[in-house]
Amino acid sequence: MAQAIFHPLRHLRRAIIKQFAALLTKPLNNYAVRFPNNLEALKSQIRKGDVLLVEGSQRISEVIKYLTQSSWSHSALYIGDELIRGNHPLAEQARATFGDDARFLLVEALVDEGVVLSSLSKYVEYNVRLCRPHNLQPQDCQVILDDVISHLGYTYDLQNIFDLGRYFLPVSLVPRRFRRRALHFGSGLPTQVICSSMIASAFGKVRFPILPHVESTPDAQETHPPFYRRFFVKEQDTRGRPVFRRRHPTLITPRDFDLSPYFHAIKFNIIGSQRLDYRNIIWAEDSVADEAQAPTAAPPASAQPDIAASPVSSVPSVQGRAG
């Protein structure tokens, strides 16, 4: 009986959440690409395990950018041809959906679709940045890839309507010290509102740092080993070495991959292809200056006055001067 009573409420709740998600993902009209992307250059430079940061074009993108004080509102993990190479059950579906682009796939978490596969070409018309984990070992990279792939099909954690609804409040009312907490969903389910949480959780499985709290260990707290151990037991001196403390994955934002000292920013457009020579850049100001300095063209012959045909000549006669 109780189940029958709450059944209509469940449908009403889903309808409200769906409407909220539609409003959050409404596209903006003032989006601008700051520099054109070269898809072929991106494909040649990107590697499995790289994190693609995106400046999104939706309403929720503006909210996340404001709360994180960053240009990046979305992140995705590049898996390349991992599904095809590993003969994953979704390999055939990926081939049918993406065709040749099935070898260049991303895993991302979207508000309205959940965790899905996307083609790398999807973001060629967006402002993007490529972040590569430094010295990530192949076996750890495989763990990360397997973890994000296992999340495919998950839906966003929209259980708490108030967590979603607070994005409709003026974000300027959120104090600076609470902005990062405003992005944290407390349900603890694997799917989170901020897409970077899934990626951060995957990197956490191999203990790879993103933007941890770093604390120095005071030398005074170190105990000195016994006299005999100084000579017969080789121990690594850890005095003064920093101690890392992880952040909760739901507190990791796309900006953190950009700020992290453990990720490289890969320049794939110009610098990556080694085509940059600043001396050959054509600046618009130079073109305007060249046009201003160009000599004025002489008027055509038809525009010149016909002196011989003129009844009164302004040119003095040489014969008149001879007398």
Q: What is the DSSP letter of 58?
A: B
Q: Is the pTM of this model over 0.95?
A: no
**pLDDT at 190 (0 to 100):** 46
* pLDDT one-digit tens code per residue, 253-289: 899 999 999 999 988 877 666 677 888 888 888 766 6
| Alpha helices (runs of H) in the chain, residue ranges in sequence order | 2-24, 39-45, 59-68, 82-85, 91-98, 138-150, 161-165, 196-204, 229-232, 254-259, 284-293, 318-322
Question: By mean pLDDT, which of 25-39, 110-124, 127-141, 171-185 is the weakest?
Answer: 171-185
CATH code that applies to domain 2-266: 3.90.1720.10
Q: What is the pLDDT of residue 320?
A: 43
Average pLDDT, the chain: 76
Pick the most confident of 27-36, 108-117, 135-144, 244-253.
Answer: 135-144
- Residues 6 or more apart whose CB falls under 8 angstroms from that of 19 comprise none
Confidence band of 64 (pLDDT split at 50, 70, 90): confident
Q: What is the pLDDT of residue 214?
A: 86
List Cβ neighbours of 154 (8 Å cut-off, separation of 6 or more): 109, 114, 115, 190, 191
Amino acid of residue 41: A
At 117 the three-state DSSP class reads strand
Over range 293-303, report the average pLDDT. Answer: 59
Q: The tokens of 42 are what?
A: 């991106």
- The ranges assigned to domains in the chain are 2-266
**Sequence-separated (6 or more) residues with CB below 8 Å from residue 310:** none
Q: Say how far apart CA 56 and CA 196 lie, in whole Å.
A: 13
Q: How far apart are CA 290 and CA 285, in angstroms?
A: 9
pLDDT single digits (tens) 27-48: 778 888 888 898 998 999 999 9
| 102 or 253: which leads in pLDDT | 102
Give burial (CB, 10 Å; 0-12/13-18/19+) of 197: buried
Where residue 228 falls among pLDDT bands split at 50, 70, 90? low
> In Å, how far are 41, 110, 313 from 257, measured between CA atoms?
21, 18, 83
Beta strands 114-119 and 51-55 are unpaired
Residue 82 is predicted with a pLDDT of 97
Single-letter code of the amino acid located at 118: S
For the ranges 33-37, 230-234, 292-296, the maximum mean pLDDT occurs at 33-37
